[in-house]
Amino acid sequence: MNSSSTTQNAWSPEDCDRAVAALHNAESLRILVVGDLMVDAYLLGRVDRISPEAPVPILRASQRERRPGGAANVALNLKALGASVTVGGAIGMDQDGQDLQKSLDDQGMDTDAIVALKNRRTTVKTRVMSGGQHLLRVDEEDDADLNPEDSQEFLERLAAVLAARPFDAILLEDYDKGALSPTVIDGLLEMARERSIPVTVDPKFRHFDRYQNVALFKPNLKELRDGLGLLWEDGNEAAMNQALTEGLNRLQAEWKPEQVLLTLSERGVRVKTALQDVQQPAHPREILDVSGAGDTVIAVATVLLAQGLDPVSMAQVANLAGGLVCEKPGVVPIDLQTLLAEVRRLPIQA
């Protein structure tokens, strides 16, 4: 095939019908989400003056919010699409962990695969915001990989859940916070292979090369660049495209994923299989906040992949969904009816 990607905008009535049917049918799926659970906290208010003590803005706080984040936000996206979701991850034996698990329980999630560990704290990301704009983020976390004993406890919990009920897909959401240790990754991938369950992965840098032979691997531009050590001069689009092509070819040869979905922010997405390498441009949007867009992309892609939708159509719809959530401030799940309407509005170019 060609050494670089082709841009493909073709979208037939049949493509639209298949995508809409797959989204409607998400309610028939059961998906296991495993990864780094966290709390997305927000301190909201307005800024109207600078501090006399230091050249920093003063936020007049008016509201606090707490939402499930990280892998839990991916689970919320899947739930919003209608799927049945089991959530797996590690939390601390602290109030933040209890609140997070209760929030997921209250929203209809199965939390049987969550382990509470006494030697860890629950990850909390606090975003300070004014007028929809981020001023500051504060992270409270323990991000070392789970130790051998905790990894084994987590794997045993996951094994029990997998033995108890069938799953249509397993989604691994890695934020480099330690829940997906090498032991957990290797053990879970083996259990998935034994049961012929497709695995989709949203990777981070630390264990980028650990995810072998998965159904879908979804890095973003920075993750692919860092994970493979790709080099190009910033601003040189031709050099970047060449490096990405070489990187994707290497990724497919060495990691052997069935599909790679590379998210490229304002450049759209690129989907690579053994037979195709296609780039989909971004859809014009009023971008307020990119937080959580990758969570939405992997959730939508997993729902469509689990039903056998072709890779290019899967990338088209997942790309669309990622753009939609960027129109709202903060980390929010996709709205199914909005997504369905936008899919139906895609221009037909058979």
- What residues are labeled active site? 295
Instruction: List the beta bridge partners of residue 128.
Output: 43, 136
CA distance 174 to 193: 19
Q: Where are the beta strands (DSSP E) in the chain?
A: 6-7, 30-35, 37-50, 57-70, 84-92, 110-117, 123-130, 133-140, 169-173, 199-202, 216-217, 259-263, 269-272, 277-280
**Amino acid code (one letter) for 218:** K
User: DSSP code of 175?
Assistant: -
Contact 175/219 with Cβ under 8 angstroms? Answer: no
- The helix-helix angle for 293-305 and 71-80 (nearest 10°) equals 50
- The helix-helix angle for 13-24 and 311-325 (nearest 10°) equals 70
What is the dihedral angle through the alpha carbons of 189, 305, 298, 76, rounded to the nearest 10 degrees?
Answer: -90
Q: What share of the chain is helix, strand, coil (3-state, %, to 5)?
A: 40, 25, 35
How many C-beta neighbours within 10 Å does residue 239 have? 14
| Residue owning tokens 């992309």 | 297
CA distance 62 to 78: 31
Contact 332/297 with Cβ under 8 angstroms? Answer: no
